[in-house]
Amino acid sequence: MKIFELYEDQKRFYLVMEFCSGGDLYNDILKTTYSEKDTSIIVLQVLQAVAYCHTENVVHRDIKLENILIDSDQQTGELEVKLTDFGVSATYEPFWKKKRKNHKYMVDMVGSPHYIAPEVLVS
């Protein structure tokens, strides 16, 4: 998502961001039936966003339907998705650049409880 402006006063920060007319994917799924083609477009765009984050050494750590916003391209009308809410994201150094002795893993349990993979809970 594009951020156009950032303002701050004594108590708050204000972000002026682009508007996504479709809202989040969770609420949109409740009222819309997506075709197989539209579903594949959504999945592809989410994976492209995650791949881009990883090229920038960023791990999102809270990917869920509520953090995927739906929009359509103004000119073509094609479906677009935006990955949002990087509140618990983290940066990392690729393992091939790390020194073996100081290698650190991300071990904090973060994200939304309803979306946590079972293997995270038992480790």
Amino acid 41: pLDDT: 93
Greater confidence (102 vs 77) lies with 77
What's the predicted TM-score (pTM) here?
A: 0.79
Average pLDDT over every residue of 97-107: 64
Which of the four pLDDT bands, split at 50, 70 and 90, describes residue 82?
very high
Whole-number average pLDDT of the chain: 86
Percent of the chain as helix, strand, coil, to the nearest 5: 35, 20, 40
CA distance 96 to 100: 9
Annotated active-site residue in 62, 71, 73, 85: 62
pLDDT tens digits, one per residue of 17-74: 888 888 999 999 999 899 999 999 999 999 999 999 999 999 998 999 999 999 877 7
Residue 62 annotated as catalytic = yes
- Rounded to the nearest 10 degrees, how much is the dihedral formed by the CA atoms of 105, 107, 113, 119? 80
